[in-house]
Amino acid sequence: MADQGELMRRAMALASNGLGLASPNPMVGAVVVSGDRVVGEGWHEGPGTPHAERMALAEAGANARGATLVVSLEPCSHHGRTPPCTDAIVEAGIGRVVAAIRDPNPLVDGRGFAILGAASIPVEEGVLADEAAELIAGFAKHVTTGLPLVTLKMAGSLDGRAAASDGSSRWISGEAARADVHRMRAASDAIVVGSGTVLADDPALTVRLDGYRGRPPLRVVVDGTGRVGTAGRLFDGSAPTLVATTHVASTSAREDWEAASAEVAVFEPGDGTRVPLAGLVELLGKRGCTSTLIEGGPTLAWAALEEGVVDRIVLYVAPKLVGGERAVGVLAGRGVATIADALPVDIRRVERVGEDLKVVADVHRDR
């Protein structure tokens, strides 16, 4: 049989075909191998569609008997919109299963492996486990807490500026970094920006990737006072839009948003006129959003960190120096009073993306 790591990488590459489609289910890929020959491949494209294992087994047909199934996630063992994959695996006569990780869904979480073991099908777990866990990080957070995985995206110069003294910020990062952001958008169910970003940049917040087949993410505008009008691209109908606001915003502003086909969610203001981001994240989780990307400016970024809703930070560092006392930093807001109060993060990786550096860090906070 071919190298297990290579086969698992193929399974995870297949899983990416579900980008923008699989959620709120996890992206999963599967490969059926008979001897040294791949006889079946599959992936999951979303609720109600065949799971990766069933697609791969169907392609393999009779060649599945005695073969090895390589799958990026533990096969499901419960009835949902589709029947259990463990049944299909047993019926197909699979001789061995190689899985990356167990399913964090409490309805599965080891039961699939147990059922296969009871049917005398050996299971090997843990091949490329870290990569597979990253693939379903949003699903794992949502299925265990009801909340989405929240990623805060920021971009700045080498000296930490998000914009120059005149307020200009386009484009502080390079073309490759911007393309990488579109891949992050595609992996997200919702994209959140603040009213300041909308007024300054008129963003579309759509996914612009060649060959992208997924659904457009929900565009979320955080506007506690009703500053944003409906003439911008966020109200062009190209993707669904939600405006998160408070009772401070006028009735006419809320009516205008609704007339422009946007959904409006009204929250009790926290800290003056601020939309409570913890409440917004909870609402998104209840709507089935498993991954949320915050793309707002420095003020919204700090508010999200201050309220403790951020799980992960992605910072693009451009090889530029801006300087200037009036130039805006990547974080604004009140900040912390002393270095001892600084929010610690765990840097997971640093990589080159075109001319920029991409820093990915997990945020340390009580969950």
Length of the chain: 367
The neighbour count for residue 262, using CB atoms within 10 Å, is: 20
| Beta bridge pairs of residue 69 | 32, 97
Q: Please confirm, yes or no, whether 53 is among the known catalytic residues.
A: yes
Tokens for 8, please give them.
């698992």
Strands 96-99 and 68-71: parallel
The CA angle 283-284-287, to the nearest 5 degrees, is 90
The three-class DSSP label of residue 137 is helix
> Do residues 244 and 193 make contact, with C-beta atoms less than 8 angstroms apart?
no
Tokens for 232, please give them.
């911008």
> Do residues 83 and 53 make contact, with C-beta atoms less than 8 angstroms apart?
no
Active-site position among 6, 41, 45, 53 = 53
What is 219-281 written as a DSSP string? EEEE-SS----SSSGGGSSSS-EEEEEETTS-HHHHHHHHHTT-EEEEE--BTTTB--HHHHH
What is 85-134 written as a DSSP string? HHHHHHHHT--EEEESS---STTTTTHHHHHHHHTT--EEE-TTHHHHHH
How many Cα neighbours within 13 Å face the side chain of 28? 31
What is 337-365 written as a DSSP string? SSGGGPPPEEEEEEEEETTEEEEEEEEP-
Known catalytic residues are 53
